[in-house]
Amino acid sequence: MTNEHGWNLDNSYTNLPSPFYSKQKPTPVKSPELVIVNERLAEALGLEAGELRGEDAVQIFAGNQLPPGSNPIAQAYAGHQFGHFTMLGDGRAVLLGEQIPPNGEKVDVQLKGAGRTPYSRGGDGRAALGPMLREYIISEAMYALGIPTSRSLAVVKTGEVVYRETELDGAILTRIAASHIRVGTFQYIAEFGERNELQALADYTINRHYAYIADDQRYLHFLEEVIKRQASLVAKWQLVGFIHGVMNTDNMTISGETIDYGPCAFMDQYDPATVFSSIDRQGRYAYGNQPYIVAWDLARLAEALLPLLHEEQEQAVKIAEDAIATFSERFQEEWLTGMRLKLGLADEEDRDKELIESLLKMMDTHDADYTNTFRSLTLNQVEGEALFEAKTFQAWYKLWQERLDRQGHSREDVQERMMKSNPAIIPRNHLVEEALSAAVENGDYDVMKQLLDVLAKPYDYTFQSPKYCQPQSPSEIPYQTFCGT
């Protein structure tokens, strides 16, 4: 594959001081085989989709060959994992470089599962096929839902096995992100580096993601902008019932994108205590806790930035605390705005939050499906479910209709607004597992591709296949997800 085929790589991250990364080539694999390539994303990146199915492209996706202009590295970072600080880094990922697409907004091109690095901490640096396909499915579903996210360009099988609890097919995911700069990147350099290195990282990040920030108090404004983006991001998660599962500071991006789809899943029955991750035994990252954890993670970013916020430690702490204190209000504003839209409300009344929270409480009491409840409200099909038969709901419904009447919009306008805010389809956990099982156990990728086609249009209410809309039948065995590391 040559330059005229579309690779247009920069390597600006390597201009940072040496502690931020290690030069690292991917470890070659035996016999790579392309599983899936994201042709629409490829075109947006300035790559010729047809070429990406060729042998040269497959060798690049496998790490056997480098694209022109690549200067591959593994990035260093630290992080709080379930509240405990530790040194981390790219233990199985290699950054090939930063693709500059036609729109000029550069993005990282990273191979996940590309072999050992100096940060592997005893691991094999590899990834299994199932978790890489899972990230592909969920990240592309999130993109279609309109939620900031890393994306998936391709998955290849390596022709080798990885050893976890059993032998599994090895695979490599090509991940695209605005960048892979994390809260943990700042924690790492604040803990182990010098002030000038911290400033270099902050300046680089501002120039890359927040170039509009003025020089006056730029590091405070930088912190405030990250807070805004993360408040907006987690509100969007809550609005669609997405549970990240492993919200460690190394998994929180400075760009405000969702990243690292390990034990993530979507909630069926509404319950704020919902946890899917097998390793989250205390419910730290439960659905209802996600806004609080984002605030906690942002406080760790603020701590790392203290030397840049003010020369006097006490004053720097005060500045940081004041900034973090704005998160709750920003999140509530974003969430409340989104919930109003889910109920078809275009203006504001003081008791809207009470109206919303009373509905959620009833949904919790009656084990109502989160997505389908709002879908039914959108279509005004409120019958046949325990929730809809309850007298408390019928009283609520009357209040909601009166609230809609007061805003003076036609029911057609209300429904159109709701259709744009309430997905008819999400990546149901049992359907994701069905697709992964077919792919991993039988080499059948058609189930996954059909699911991806459906998930690409989550707000399409003309699509009426019950298979993709209904939750799995209740089971005595709780659904669990795993990190895949």
User: What residues are annotated to the active site?
Assistant: 250
Do 261 and 134 meet the contact criterion of CB atoms below 8 Å apart? yes
State the Cα–Cα distance between residues 350 and 368, nearest whole angstrom.
26
Rounded to whole angstroms, the Cα distance separating 470 from 385 reads: 13
The owner of tokens 């809609």 is 404
**Helix, strand, coil: what percent of the chain each, to 5?**
45, 15, 40
For residues 139 and 143, what is the distance between their CA atoms, to the nearest angstrom? 6
The HSE-up count of residue 163 (CA atoms within 13 Å, CB side) is 2
Q: How far is CA 277 from CA 147, 262, 263, 281, 407, in A?
A: 21, 9, 5, 8, 42
**Token couple for 66:** 């480098």
**275, 264 Cβ separation under 8 angstroms:** no
Find residue 119's DSSP bridge partners.
Answer: none
Residue 149 DSSP one-character state: B
Dihedral sign for Cα 470, 473, 478, 481, please.
negative
Pairwise CA distance, residues 353 & 332, whole Å: 10
Question: Residue type for 128, please?
Answer: A
The tokens for 360 are: 């959620």
* Rounded Cα distance, 246 and 420, in Å: 29
Rg over alpha carbons for the chain, rounded to the nearest Å, is 23
For residue 60, give both structure tokens: 């690049």
How far, in Å, CA of 293 to CA of 243, rounded? 12
**Cα separation values, 251 from 149, 297, 349, Å:** 12, 10, 36
Alpha-carbon distance 127 to 481, whole Å?
16
CA gap 251, 150 in Å, rounded: 12
- Residue in 122, 86, 92 with CA at minimum distance from that of residue 249: 86
Q: What's the distance, CA 77 to chain centroid? A: 19
CB distance 141 to 427 below 8 Å: yes
> What whole-number distance in Å separates Cα of residue 475 and Cα of residue 479?
8
Residue type, 148: P
Amino acid at 282: Q
How crowded is residue 389: how many other Cβ atoms within 10 Å of its Cβ? Answer: 12
